[in-house]
Amino acid sequence: MANRKAPVGIIHSFNFGIIPREGILIMNYSADEAVAALNKIKAYDWAGAVAFKKKDFDKGQWLGGAVELMDKNRNVKGTAYYIYIPEKFNFSDFHQIKLAHEAEHVVNFVSKEAFDRVKEYEFSAYLLSHITAQCLNLMRGMGPNKGVSYCLDK
Ligand SMILES: [Zn+2]
């Protein structure tokens, strides 16, 4: 159930704990709205990163990824990790699994960039979603494949 205090839209940073990187969660904003909001708080590098991903964001899909952060002279100054949720998060199992899926993409991207060890593969993100769905079903007293499942574009 959604918390009554749950915000309608979010543009907020998140951190990686022990890894000195920063990400941004954008929920229920269009790319244009997010760019305007980020410019308003003078987060120009982040606004530029979102503007760079506008074509992807405008497809209306959930995304977890990484894009280069550039200064105003277009010098790369880091990496912007993002989770983009184009609709209001409703705390359903399906939305929670989708969140985990996109978070896994971010984990893979930061692992690749921070450790140069793990490649980014769609496979591992879907596997994470699949395992998460089965665990949720089991914890609700159902068989692992009864109840919520997660497949591409469903
Ligand atoms: Zn994916």
User: Measured in angstroms, how far is the CA atom of residue 15 from the centroid of ligand 1?
Assistant: 21
User: Measured in angstroms, how far is the CA atom of residue 13 from the centroid of ligand 1?
Assistant: 21
Would the pLDDT of 8 be above 50? yes
pLDDT value, residue 152: 47
Token reading at 69: 């952060």
Give the residue extent of every domain in the chain: 10-139
pLDDT value, residue 153: 43
Which residues are 79's β-sheet partners?
68
User: What does the mean pLDDT of the chain come to?
Assistant: 83
pTM of the predicted model, to two decimals?
0.76
Token reading at 126: 């879907």
User: Measured in angstroms, how far is the CA atom of residue 3 from the centroid of ligand 1?
Assistant: 26
Task: Report the alpha-carbon distance of residue 70 to residue 73 in Å, rounded.
Answer: 7
pLDDT value, residue 33: 97
DSSP string, 20-33: EEEEEEEES--HHH
Q: For CA atoms 126, 25, 86, 93, give the dihedral sign.
A: positive
User: Measured in angstroms, how far is the CA atom of residue 126 from the centroid of ligand 1?
Assistant: 7
Would the pLDDT of 5 be above 60? yes
Q: Is 12 left (phi over 0), alpha (psi -120 to 50) or beta?
A: beta
User: Measured in angstroms, how far is the CA atom of residue 129 from the centroid of ligand 1?
Assistant: 9
User: Measured in angstroms, how far is the CA atom of residue 125 from the centroid of ligand 1?
Assistant: 6
